[in-house]
Amino acid sequence: MSLHWYPGHMAKARRLLRAHLPLVQVVFELLDARIPYSSRNPDIAELLAGKPRVVVLNKEDLADPRATRAWLAYLEQEGYPTLAVNSLTGKGLDKLEEALRRVARPGRTGILRGMVVGIPNVGKSSFINRLARGRAAAVGAKPGVTKGKQWIKVTPNFELLDTPGVLWPRFEDPEVGLKLAVTGALKEEVIDVEAAALWLAAWLQEHYPDALAKRYPLAAGKAPEEFLDELGRHRGFFLEGGCIDRVKAAVALLKDFREGRLGRFTLDPIA
C-alpha cells in the first residue's frame, strides 16, 4: 500500500476533534462491524481517554452475525456500552437510549451533546441522519464526503456533531491497510486496487471457501490471479491491444464485496 496517502486535512480533522471535545458530554466511536479492530483509530483512543463513550459497530448488515455477537461481548468487557447498528434501516438503534443513560448526563443547559467520530466512510453521517430522521448531513459511498464539522439537532435536547473521517498516518500491520482498502475507507486513488482485490479473493477462499464461487461460478478451483483474469474476460474488460483490464475486474470485485453481494463477512478475528 502506498505510504503517501496521509493528507494534511486529516491532521486538521484531528485538531477539530480535540477542540470540540470539551463541548460534548459523550463520544460515539463508530467502528466498521466487518473490521472492529482495523477500523479503530489508535490515535483517537488516546485523544478520547476518560471521555464517556458509546461504541457503535456500524454496517452490521455486512458483517458475519456470529462474529458481531462475539465482538459486542468483547467490547462491552472493555467497559463501553456497545451497539451493532445498520444506519440505513435503523436496526439496533433502539438500544441507544439505554446505552446513553449508562454513560452520559446532559450538560448545564439540559442539552446532551455528542460527537460522532470514526474512519472515513464508516457511516458517521448516515448514523446521524437516521437518528435525525432526515437528510441532515451529506452522505456518499466514497471516503472523504464530510469535510468540516456540522451540528445536527436530533431532538430539542439532543445534538450531534458530525465530523470528517480520521485515519492515522501509518499502518503498522499491512493487513490493516488492506482491510481498510477493501472495506472502502481509503480513497481509490491511493490504493493498489488490484493488490487489494487479490488479497480479498485469497482471504475469501481461505475463510469462506464457497463464497466466491457462489457469486462467480468461474472462480471455482482458481488461484486469485487467474480468477481476476477470468472475471475481467467474462465481463468484457479489455485494454487497448486486447489485454484484460485487471484493474476494472478488481474494482468490480470490490464493489460486489462492499455492497454485500458476496455475503456477510467479518475480516477481523477477536485476538
Closest of 195, 182, 197, 196 to residue 265, by C-alpha: 182
Question: Residue 83 belongs to what H/E stretch?
Answer: strand 82-85
The residue from 123, 177, 224, 232 that contacts ligand GTP (CB under 6 A) is 123
Q: According to the annotation, is 125 in a ligand binding site? A: yes
Q: Which residues does residue 82 pair with via DSSP β-bridges, in sequence order? A: 55
Nearest-angstrom CA–CA distance, 9 and 167: 10
Q: Which three cell numbers stand for residue 12?
A: 486538521
Q: Which three cell numbers stand for residue 266?
A: 467479518
Binding mask 208-247 for Mg ion (x = CB under 5 A): ----------------------------------------
> Shortest gap between Cβ of 34 and ligand GTP (angstroms)?
10
Q: Is 125 in the site for Mg ion (CB under 5 A)?
A: yes
Q: According to the annotation, is 124 in a ligand binding site? A: yes
The residue from 39, 121, 205, 266 that contacts ligand GTP (CB under 6 A) is 121
Binding mask 34-63 for ligand GTP (x = CB under 6 A): ------------------------xx-xx-
Q: Is 146 in the site for Mg ion (CB under 5 A)?
A: yes
Q: How far, in whole angstroms, is CA 142 from its chain's centroid?
A: 11
Q: According to the annotation, is 38 in a ligand binding site? A: no
Nearest-angstrom CA–CA distance, 158 and 53: 15
Nearest-angstrom CA–CA distance, 24 and 113: 5
> Shortest gap between Cβ of 234 and Mg ion (angstroms)?
35
Q: Is 120 in the site for ligand GTP (CB under 6 A)?
A: yes
Q: Nearest-CB residue to Mg ion?
A: 146
What does the angle CA 84 – CA 90 – CA 95 come to, to the nearest 5 degrees? 50
Q: Which three cell numbers stand for residue 42?
A: 489508535
> Shortest gap between Cβ of 41 and ligand GTP (angstroms)?
12
Q: Which three cell numbers stand for residue 235?
A: 465481463
Q: Which residues bind ligand GTP (CB under 6 A)?
A: 58-59, 61-62, 86-88, 118, 120-126, 139-141, 143-146, 164-165
Q: Which residues bind Mg ion (CB under 5 A)?
A: 124-125, 145-146
